Amino acid sequence: MKKIYMLWLAASLCLPLAAQTPRNGYFSENLPMRHNLNPAFAPEYDYVAIPAIGGISAGMNSNVGADNFLFKKNGEVVTGLHSSVGNDEFLSGLKSRNYMEVNSGVSVVSLGFKALGGFNTIGINVKSATSAALPYELFEFAKIGQVNGAPTSYNIKDTRVQSSNYLELAFGHSRNLGEKFRVGAKVKYIAGVAYADARIDAIDVAMSADKWSVREQGEMFTTDAIDIQYKPNGEIDNISTGSFGVAGNGLGFDFGASYKLLDNLVLSASLTDVGFVAWKGSNASVNPDEFVYDGFHHLVAEKNPDGSSALSREGDQLEEDLRKLVRFQNETGASRTQSLQTMLNLASEYSILNDKIGFGLLWSTRLGTPRKWTEVMASANFRPVQWFNATVNFSTSNLGHSLGALINFCPKGFNFFFGSDYIPFKYSKEGIPLSTAKLCLVWRLHSITASNCLKINSLVCGNRCRRFPLFLLVENFF
């Protein structure tokens, strides 16, 4: 449990949502992996990703930032639960339901080539998503506890922590249907590696002068890759790595299309990650019997003689307190079906000055678990010359607002571009992004086989046709 809270803190410092392809790359025509956003998209060239380092991504979505949890007191950085932080100072910045999701991915194998009357893609990817939804009342209970010794009660509902980790084998194909219409689709086999889903539906706390009593409802499902040992009273004693293998099987599909309505207006739509994973593991129910809880133990802002920081000691104490708060029983074999994180994209781009400048609008909604969200991104895409493209964008969603930018250089023989969907503008003195809930970090390295003469916005740039048998495409996002 401590690891969940500290993960929240670490991720809220610098990592919001990142996909394997940045969203502001949706309108970048020479981005090889753009088919991850819409399977109808295809580059003008064949490509092969460098194994393992061909695509590495990490990111986060959250409706709170680091400045909601970290405070500087007496020369040390502490959490809002620290005794030196006032109740209102900490709690006033929290939401009724505080949500965080951390995503990461590695493209192990990725290649694209022209064949079968269209463009084909093959990919092997490792994907991981961990989310936590913690209600305001949980932090209120942890921070305030009993009020002046008087009878106090808390009703903490809908606490959930979920982690999904799997290997994906994807095959895609796209082709033109006439001069204006293009369609594409992918099919994905999913091999589940590890999954956990802890759902605490209710924690009812009643405090009196004599004792703090707790009653709970909920359950926790885990696969064999996660080994949990329990104490005789049901408290979690230790969480460690278990046995790895194929713990689940599933299927996923992507669908996409684009239509050139006018010479300078293109409409497109996609529905990605439609599918499921069926997991096998074990399920433990929360013990509904009443038990006595001795509360959260706060620290004072002093350094220990051993040199450990207040933040580190807070983490250790928080782990101990949270483990005592929930008790489980009756662990039995079980199965669970999880839906994928389905995404719906609707987009349009209007170009002027002979396609030198384009104005794009991308509307995205995630339809699946663990949380639904909607984002609208407006972008201006500049293509003044063959060897240089740039994009600036503004995004707004039910999780916040942000700006982003992307620059793409395409001189003779290579392609290099860097950018970010989300650029934070508020930092601490230590360089930590604070109030923003969005930032992107992606690294990609591809080998490109330029077997054909390529035109504007392609990797083989210049006025005359040139051939390059193999070179590197580096895409680095900050």
Model pLDDT for residues 15-61, shown as the tens digit of each residue: 333 345 678 889 987 777 889 999 999 987 788 776 766 567 777 77
Neighbours of 428 (CB within 10 A): 14
Higher pLDDT: 194 or 4? It is 194
Neighbours of 217 (CB within 10 A): 15
Model confidence at 466: pLDDT above 50: no
The amino acid that residue 340 corresponds to is L
Q: How far apart are CA 205 and CA 324, in angstroms?
A: 13
Q: How far apart are CA 166 and CA 338, in angstroms?
A: 12
Q: List the structure tokens of 111.
A: 């290649």
Q: Which residues lie across from 267 on neighbouring strands?
A: 259, 348
Distance of CA 406 to the CA centre of its chain: 20
3-state class (DSSP) for residue 455: coil
Helix, strand, coil percentages, rounded to 5, for the chain: 10, 55, 35
Q: Which pLDDT value is given to residue 435?
A: 57
- Residue for token pair 């010794």: 149
Q: Which pLDDT value is given to residue 457?
A: 28
% the chain with pLDDT above 70? 77
Q: How far apart are CA 362 and CA 20, in angstroms?
A: 17
Q: Which pLDDT value is given to residue 401?
A: 80
Pairing of strands 400-409, 440-450: unpaired
- Tell me the per-residue pLDDT of 345-360, one tens digit each, with 9 for 90 and over: 999 999 999 999 999 9
Q: How far apart are CA 76 and CA 93, in angstroms?
A: 20
List Cα–Cα distances, 204 to 94, 154, 208, 293, in angstroms. Answer: 21, 6, 13, 11
CB 418 within 8 A of CB 475: yes
- Tell me the per-residue pLDDT of 59-94, one tens digit each, with 9 for 90 and over: 777 888 778 888 888 877 788 888 889 999 999 999
Q: What is the rounded average pLDDT for all residues in the chain?
A: 80
Nearest to 377 by CA among 359, 352, 390: 359
CB 415 within 8 A of CB 458: no
